[in-house]
Amino acid sequence: MNVVLAKTETAHASSDILAVARDRLPGAGKIADLRRQAFDAYARLGLPHRRIEDWKYTDLRMLMRDVLPLAAAPDAAALKHAATALKLHAIPGVRRVVLVDGVFAPSLSETSDLGKDVGIRTLRDVLEAGDAALHAQLFAPENSDAMVALNSAMMTDGFVIEVADGAVIPLPLHIVHIASGAAPAAMFTRSLIRLGMHARATLVESYIGAEGAKAYQVHDSLLVAIGDGARLDHVRLTEDSREAFNISSAVVTLGANAHFNTFGMNTGSLVSRYQAVIVVAGEGSRVETNGVNLLNGRQHADTTLFLDHAVPNCSSNEIFRAVLDDRGHSVFQGRIIVRPKAQKTAAKMMTRALLLSDEAEADNKPELEIFADDVTCGHGATTGALDESLLFYLRARGLSEKEAQALLIQAFVGEAIESIVNDDLRELAIAAAQRWLEARG
């Protein structure tokens, strides 16, 4: 009885959000209909809760309670706050597109000299123009997951990035999400990146909050299509405010002989969930997913990956590390499915958690579903504290307790960070980890 009540309340509260925001959401006609369908699906499902297996450890009804109203478009003051926050996180020399409170901010972006091989349009422009095929792609994710459905219904802005066949883009493209902190509100964004055949590009996503930004909500999704022979390197750094929510979904599809290397690190947010579906749809492809959660206080971070091996001769390798202090709670759910035709698949998953406090919690849920008989698949999970004998050795060599811990933590997350190919981006991730370590004091 309680369940039904809770559901009704959520659905009720949320329908107000769409109604209030409708005039500000781009796209009419067919798009408005698709939004309506998605929203109805969300309203039916309500916020995910622990009795939904995929959300078992991240009960949004408990943790988030409700979805906040759509954030106002940023005014001059908001943009100024965002510009200040951007300084710490901007990567010198790279092309950058910035979303402030979920709205494209041209004044903070840098897209000069992109060349003819890269096309970038805002989601708003694309939804307001008449490209039906592209619209279909943007609405491709199913409405079966409540948070994806909510994002489909409410998406306000984002980017559609297209990289031409054969184009090799040497500099990373950086999408920066900034919450200006004007008022507690929600932002809904979606981006799509499509790499043509044999193209090569690097995408970085940063999530940050301006000073004073507190309990805001980020609802984001990323759609990735990697063409035959193409390669995408992807780095995702979540450094949101310590009271913020970040609910992000990704759907990645690889063609044949394609390569996807992705790294995610989470040091911010009160509650975050990153759920990615990676479909290996073409033969000879390779996926490397690496992730790090560095959490303390009452932070909760959930990484849920679903790797779908549909065809033969592909490989995937997942490395995940969590470092948890205080009452930090890290969740890693790794599901790998190897379908009957996907012979010669090599799939590996290794997740390790380091607990710095008795009250920290790490939940690891590996799920391997293997329907082919000629495959190499394996997974492992460990949880433990810092090794006392290593700590003593370092302290006997002059390192303070915090310095010794910091060095061992850096080594622990190092294996995952090492997977980042681009030197500058690896340094960026190391710097984010160091900021977390320094904040520990």
Of 56-64, 261-269, 297-305, 412-420, the window that binds other proteins (rule: CB under 8 A) is 412-420
CA distance 319 to 348: 8
- The CA–CA distances, whole Å, from 417 to 147, 186, 234, 430 equal 29, 30, 12, 7
Determine, following the binding rule CB under 8 A, whether residue 411 of this chain makes contact with other proteins.
Answer: yes
Of 257-265, 303-311, 346-354, 384-392, the window that binds other proteins (rule: CB under 8 A) is 384-392
Residues 390-409 that bind other proteins (CB under 8 A): 390, 392-401, 403-404, 407-408
Determine, following the binding rule CB under 8 A, whether residue 412 of this chain makes contact with other proteins.
Answer: yes
- The CA–CA distances, whole Å, from 250 to 189, 223, 274 equal 12, 6, 8
- Residue nearer to other proteins on the CB measure, 96 or 352: 352
Determine, following the binding rule CB under 8 A, whether residue 410 of this chain makes contact with other proteins.
Answer: yes
For residue 148, the one-letter residue type is V
| Rounded (5°) CA angle 107-112-117 | 130
Q: HSE of 248 in the Cβ direction (CA atoms, 13 Å)?
A: 29
Of 133-141, 243-251, 377-385, 411-419, the window that binds other proteins (rule: CB under 8 A) is 411-419
Determine, following the binding rule CB under 8 A, whether residue 426 of this chain makes contact with other proteins.
Answer: no
Determine, following the binding rule CB under 8 A, whether residue 389 of this chain makes contact with other proteins.
Answer: yes
Determine, following the binding rule CB under 8 A, whether residue 111 of this chain makes contact with other proteins.
Answer: no
Counting DSSP H helices and E strands in the chain, the numbers are 10, 19
- Residue nearer to other proteins on the CB measure, 306 or 412: 412
Q: DSSP character for 427? A: H
Show the binding pattern over residues 341-380: x = contacts other proteins (CB under 8 A), - = does not.
----------------------------------------
Determine, following the binding rule CB under 8 A, whether residue 421 of this chain makes contact with other proteins.
Answer: no
Strand order in the sheet with 286-295: 103-104, 95-100, 173-179, 200-209, 231-239, 259-266, 286-295, 315-324, 346-355, 376-384
- Count CB neighbours of 376 within 10 A: 10
Determine, following the binding rule CB under 8 A, whether residue 116 of this chain makes contact with other proteins.
Answer: no
CA distance 85 to 10: 33
- Residue nearer to other proteins on the CB measure, 206 or 351: 351
Residues of this chain that bind other proteins (CB under 8 A):
387-390, 392-401, 403-404, 407-408, 410-412, 414-415
